[in-house]
């Protein structure tokens, strides 16, 4: 007689359940990659960033005057593609390799600030205060996991076939509450993350559907698990023209040291309690 452990019996039962669902024609969701945390609190999965193209000879090289935690390049012709940079040991040298020919908007992140050159909507901006309020309202009901949200930059045109795009920060700040009813966050070990927050910097795309604005898609640029000793709340955002529409052809373009001090602060930092 063969003795089977309880854990083995459970595994076999799960496999049998999946097999029966498949046989009955019931779709079985594929396994999704679990996010992992790297030093500095950055969440990433194997599918978050766009893979470089080995056949592409283009690239970018720049020097930041301040230490960076992260850098990304977003092609203007496909803002759902986000290429992640390699940052040198000094945290100031930034390199993008094997990226296709395009104009790129760059995003640089320090521990307490975002420097961006995002283009958003190329059309003339004609959004009214009512449009902005409607967008903030629809954002508040989008992805409820994030309980506090802010539009940092937004541009668009309302009316028939109207479109808009926004750079937003969405946050989960209920992580500091230890009880499940209060919305505390669990890590992968099932332990409550007391004093933590989650910050997501992303692009959001909207369409005017007549009865109001509707979110048609979002593209996450950076998700950060904000540990208790890190800067909490919304980070300040500065628009830097030198980071906008950087043209890359089939060689590595060196744009030297970027003058971040020439930028315009578009959103202040707001520290959460």
Backbone angles phi, psi at 126, to 5 degrees: -140, 30
Question: What residues contact 174, with CB distance under 8 A and at least 6 apart?
Answer: 147, 182, 183, 184, 185
255 CB-near residues (< 8 Å, 6+ apart): 60, 61, 62, 242, 246
Rounded to two decimals, the pTM is 0.80
Tokens describing residue 41: 């609190």
Distance CA 141, CA 39 (A): 31
Lowest mean per-residue pLDDT among 11-20, 107-116, 130-139: 11-20
Q: What is the pLDDT of residue 269?
A: 96
Q: Mean pLDDT, to the nearest integer, of 85-101?
A: 97
Higher pLDDT, residue 240 or 19: 240
| Token reading at 72 | 């990304």
Q: Are 205 and 214 in contact (CB under 8 A)?
A: no
Q: Using CA atoms, how far apart are residues 62 and 253, in angstroms rounded to an integer? A: 9
Q: Are 177 and 186 in contact (CB under 8 A)?
A: no
pLDDT at 64 over 80: yes
Read off the pLDDT of residues 125-136 as tens digits, 9 standing for 90 and up: 899 999 999 999
Q: Hey, what's the torsion of the CAs at 231, 234, 240, 242, to 10 degrees?
A: 70
Cα–Cα distance for residue pair 200/109, rounded to 1 Å: 12
pLDDT for 186: 61
Task: Count the helix, strand and coil residues of the chain and give each as a percent rounded to the nearest 5.
Answer: 15, 40, 45
Q: At 181, list the tokens.
A: 């009813």
Query: Is the Cα dihedral 89, 94, 95, 100 positive or negative?
Result: positive
pLDDT digits (tens, 9 = 90+) for 166-208: 999 999 887 444 444 445 566 555 566 677 889 999 999 999 9
- What mean pLDDT is reported for the chain? 82
pLDDT in tens, 245-261: 999 999 999 999 999 99
**Cα(217)–Cα(168) distance, rounded to whole angstroms?**
13
Show the beta-strand stretches assigned E in the chain. 36-37, 42-44, 59-63, 70-75, 83-84, 86-87, 93-97, 102-109, 113-116, 148-157, 163-172, 197-208, 213-226, 236-239, 246-248, 252-257, 264-267
């Amino acid at each position: 007689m063969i003795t089977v452990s309880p854990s083995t019996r459970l595994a076999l039962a799960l496999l049998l359940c999946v097999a029966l669902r498949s046989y009955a024609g019931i779709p079985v969701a594929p396994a999704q990659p679990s996010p992992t945390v790297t030093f500095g609190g950055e969440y990433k999965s194997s599918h978050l960033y766009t893979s470089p193209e080995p056949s592409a000879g283009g690239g970018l090289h720049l020097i930041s005057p301040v230490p960076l935690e992260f850098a990304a390049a977003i092609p203007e012709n496909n803002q759902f593609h986000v290429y992640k940079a390699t940052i040198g040991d000094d945290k100031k040298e930034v390199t993008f390799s094997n990226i296709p020919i395009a104009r790129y908007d760059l995003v640089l992140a320090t521990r307490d600030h975002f420097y961006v050159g995002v283009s958003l909507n190329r059309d003339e901006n004609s959004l009214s205060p009512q449009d902005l309020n409607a967008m903030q309202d629809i954002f508040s009901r989008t992805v409820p996991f994030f309980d506090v949200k802010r539009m940092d930059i937004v541009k668009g045109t309302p009316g028939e076939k109207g479109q808009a795009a926004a750079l937003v920060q969405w946050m989960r700040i209920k992580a500091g509450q230890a009880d499940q009813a209060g919305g505390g966050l669990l890590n992968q070990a099932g332990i409550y993350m007391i004093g933590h927050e989650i910050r997501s910097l992303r692009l959001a795309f909207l369409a005017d559907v007549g009865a109001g604005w509707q979110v048609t898609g979002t593209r996450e640029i950076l998700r950060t698990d904000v540990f208790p000793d890190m800067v909490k709340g919304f980070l300040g955002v500065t628009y830097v023209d030198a980071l906008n529409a950087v043209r890359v052809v089939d060689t590595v373009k060196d744009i030297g040291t970027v003058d971040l001090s020439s930028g315009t602060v578009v959103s202040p930092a707001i520290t959460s309690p």
